[in-house]
Structure 1
């Protein structure tokens, strides 16, 4: 009888510890999301509520597929190994206006994988005041609305390919509605040192081992990286500590700026890594 009582008491204590850990984990994640959102918005503020219903009829796919791949930077794992991601096809679902079907490719250490998946919009929020850039450059461009998308993504790599797995997480994107009533990628504040867009923040989980790794990427800057990773002020620059993790070309570019290295020109088209 005493043994059963002791075991029951132990189970209750264990459940309490688990629930306490989950509570603090959720609080920590919420605080982390709040801090990221504050940094992501720069000095913008958002309207209260969710403007999803009035804006869900628009097609946001243009925002996610037109960024030049050379300014999309990503990390995988605690050691911040470089990952490259290219979204090749994004189509709004006919069945659900909140869902976008995605096809793309990833590359780590020269290994390229195909992936298929979805981006699912959870919130569409507008800013309280429109921003128009330096010297109000965009003030007379007819911008109707500006804001951010908060979405969830899930991309499944081809299980038949080497070192494949699943990408999952949250996506934060900036947009504006132009005078033609079309959704545009909001790079108006890209001159800001800390500007970033299309921030994918989440994990990659291996099919073979089940092991999870942090995996974040975005336009212009890497989100939620170690504090000693990006040492750039005016532009993205990687600390020497991480150069051997796939970042040597960025290091060379930043050390020899303004076209100081002249490469031999060729009429032959260079094949991109995803082609």
Structure 2
């Protein structure tokens, strides 16, 4: 029995070693943030976090679904705060895997707000004179329900991590102060997708600028997101194009006509 336990622990450590968890690196609650949950401090409707989750252009939001890291695109189209629930936000959006597009409705519920131990002002203290009052992170639960009448629909469920700051006008802003730093990530959704038909669950993680949790051999970029060739056929070919494939096997399109976005 002891031998079996040792083998299982060994295999578990290998599995953990093969996964890169950027949420631990970029949302370090033990080091960067105060221990107190100040959720009630932001109960007033003067503090609205809804804009924070829709700042980044969709082309810079990257997500995976399943162990093979199939690409999934998520677009949050409408987010608004519920009047009788200060930490509850209704969400409408769409998801896309390959050519399959589903609309979804759901909610985000903020569970925890922690403020930073020390304010950060970016390179050369660029934001030092911007009147920033405080900075922090929020942790929320999310559940998004895809339309059951649509093909390959399911439920998204998990945790959301968001960095923000309070400006001089007491408005909540998206914290992009450290944007130019290597490996920058924000608005990280970490969880699962559960099929409406089979009930099967798959990992499903997405975030701004990087995938929050993925195989170590998936994102090979240092300063910015770059997918290894192993995964190109899982919907990531355009990222190879974006990063100018070293072997020049992929050439930019000469088309200049503007086309509708996939969620329109």
Q: What TM-score do you get using the length of structure 2 for normalisation?
A: 0.87
Q: Distance in 2 between matches of 1:59 and 1:105?
A: 22
> Which residue of 1 is the match for residue 57 of structure 2?
68
> Which residue of 2 is the match for residue 79 of structure 1?
68
Pick one of 246, 251, 255 that aligns with 2:235.
246
> Which residue of 1 is the match for residue 25 of structure 2?
39
Q: How does 1:70-219 map to 2 (within 5 A)?
A: 70-219=59-208
Q: Distance in 1 between matches of 2:133 and 2:24?
A: 23
Superposed displacement of residue 263, structure 1: 3.2
Query: Whose Rg is larger?
Result: 1
Q: Distance in 2 between matches of 1:148 and 1:273?
A: 31
> Which residue of 1 is the match for residue 7 of structure 2?
none
Is 1:234 aligned to residue 220 of structure 2? Answer: no
Structure 2 alignment gaps of length 5 or more = 1-11
Superposed displacement of residue 67, structure 1: 1.2
Q: Distance in 2 between matches of 1:182 and 1:192?
A: 24
Q: Distance in 2 between matches of 1:225 and 1:74?
A: 9
Superposed displacement of residue 239, structure 1: 0.5
Superposed displacement of residue 66, structure 1: 1.9
Q: Secondary structure at the match of 1:225?
A: strand
Q: Distance in 1 between matches of 2:75 and 2:172?
A: 21
CA RMSD of aligned residues (A): 2.4
- Give the total of aligned pairs: 243
Q: Secondary structure at the match of 1:242?
A: helix
Superposed displacement of residue 193, structure 1: 1.1
> Which residue of 1 is the match for residue 43 of structure 2?
56
Alpha-carbon displacement from aligned partner over 1:111-166 (angstroms, at most 9, x marks no partner): 00000000000001100111100000000000001010100000000000000000
Structure 1 alignment gaps of length 5 or more = 1-24
Distance change >3 Å, CA 137–CA 103, structure 1 → 2: same
Is 1:223 aligned to residue 209 of structure 2? Answer: no
Superposed displacement of residue 95, structure 1: 1.4
Alpha-carbon displacement from aligned partner over 1:50-71 (angstroms, at most 9, x marks no partner): 0111123210000001210000
Contact 2:27 2:161 in 1 (8 A): no
Pick one of 241, 248, 254 that aligns with 1:263.
254
Q: Secondary structure at the match of 1:243?
A: helix
Q: Which runs of 4+ in 1 moved over 2 A?
A: 35-38, 41-44, 260-266
Contact 1:42 1:195 in 2 (8 A): no
Contact 2:23 2:213 in 1 (8 A): no
